[in-house]
């Protein structure tokens, strides 16, 4: 069975081997042009998810797991299922946010009013079938003032990546979860606020010692 430490180590190793920078400059269209995508966080989340997909597929295959890709708005982004089993599934969600000035880092980790309260709502498989919930988080700085100019493919070297200084971490969801929602008035679980990505890499959240059951109980009943 694939465990968290194995996945973390193998993912990191593949990133090193491929010398991945996580940088993308735009969308290559069938008309032969490259269209920039700016700094919209939803778009960049899709970009990072696309970078992760082949790495996750390779790791899953080597451990005899099947990978299910989620439909839009359904949790998680990737479901890893052991061969011949309908339980012990692994949920992997890709999250991203930007760092700006002295602002604390906070990720949104999914809704607390959906599958945590109703085990089949907005989730690929019943919540009880998942034994692990992991987050691959990306932190970046936005490049302001990048021109929204369409380029020919031969001009690709002139196209500027709209973000820089990409850093990532892999951690168990409950170990980075905080006690407050992640964004405004939404019902998203927030990660614990920090200015140091190492806190997230090490999983130093308030539920790290309390355990996953305490995390689920807290957020299942939040604001009730």
Q: Is 40 a catalytic residue?
A: no
Choice among 31, 40, 93, 179 that is catalytic: 93
Q: Tokens 């679980």 appear where?
A: 189
Catalytic hit among 42, 66, 95, 149 = 95
Of the residues 77, 88, 121, 179, only one is catalytic, namely: 77
Look up 93 and say whether it is catalytic. yes
What HEC string does the chain produce?
A: CCCHHHHHHHHHHHHHHCCCCCCCCCEECCCCEEECCCCCHHHHHHHHHHHHHHHHHHHHHHCCEEEEECCCCCECCEEEEECCCCCCEEEEEEEEEECCCCCCECCEEEECCCCCCCCCCCECCCHHHEEEEEEEEEEEEECCCCCCCCEEHHHHHHCCCCEEEEEEEEEEHHHHEEEEECCCCCCEEEECCECCHHHHHCCCCCCCCCCHHHHHHHHHCCCC
Active site residues: 77, 93, 95
């Amino acid at each position: 069975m694939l465990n968290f430490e194995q996945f973390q180590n193998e993912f990191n190793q593949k990133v090193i081997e491929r010398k991945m920078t996580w940088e993308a400059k735009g969308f290559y269209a069938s008309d032969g042009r490259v269209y920039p995508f700016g700094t919209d966080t939803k778009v960049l989340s899709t970009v990072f998810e696309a970078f992760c997909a082949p790495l996750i597929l390779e790791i899953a295959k080597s451990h005899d797991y099947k990978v299910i890709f989620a439909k839009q708005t359904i949790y998680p982004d990737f479901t890893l299922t052991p061969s011949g089993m309908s339980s012990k599934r692994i949920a992997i969600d890709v999250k991203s946010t930007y760092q700006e000035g002295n602002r604390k880092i906070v990720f949104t980790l999914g809704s607390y009013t959906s599958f945590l309260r109703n085990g089949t709502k907005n989730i690929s498989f019943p919540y009880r079938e998942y034994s692990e919930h992991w987050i691959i988080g990306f932190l970046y700085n936005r490049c302001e003032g990048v021109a929204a100019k369409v380029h020919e493919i031969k001009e690709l070297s002139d196209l500027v990546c709209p973000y820089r200084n990409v850093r990532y971490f892999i951690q168990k969801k409950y170990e980075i979860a905080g006690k407050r929602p992640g964004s405004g008035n939404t019902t998203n679980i927030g990660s614990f606020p920090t200015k140091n990505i190492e806190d997230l890499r090490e999983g130093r959240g308030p539920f790290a010692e309390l355990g996953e059951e305490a995390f689920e109980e807290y957020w299942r009943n939040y604001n009730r």
